[in-house]
Amino acid sequence: MATPKSAVYAASKHAVLGFSNALRMELAPIGIHLTTVNLGPVNTNFFDNADPSGKYRQSVRRYMLDPHKVAQKNCKKPL
């Protein structure tokens, strides 16, 4: 989803989704499946730089994912 102050970020996300959707269709005939994962906001220092006022972080705080839990989901061994 595009939001104010995120034009380049939103454009890159849309590009990845467009590429992934096209690749999914191209690979389907040979039995290869493709999945994209789009996380919501993750509580990292990204937001300190992206919005120093802290207003965005405050508005999405209840949706923010814990970075350690996200990393844990992607690892076969516990961190």
Tokens of 25: 């269709």
- Point out the catalytic residue in the list 9, 14, 19, 32: 9
User: What's the CA gap between 38 and 59, in Å, rounded?
Assistant: 19
Tokens of 11: 């454009």
Q: Which residues of 5-18 are buried (b: 16+ CB within 10 A; e: fewer)?
A: eeeeeeeeeeeeee
Is residue 56 annotated as a catalytic residue, yes or no? no
Indicate which residues carry an active-site annotation: 9
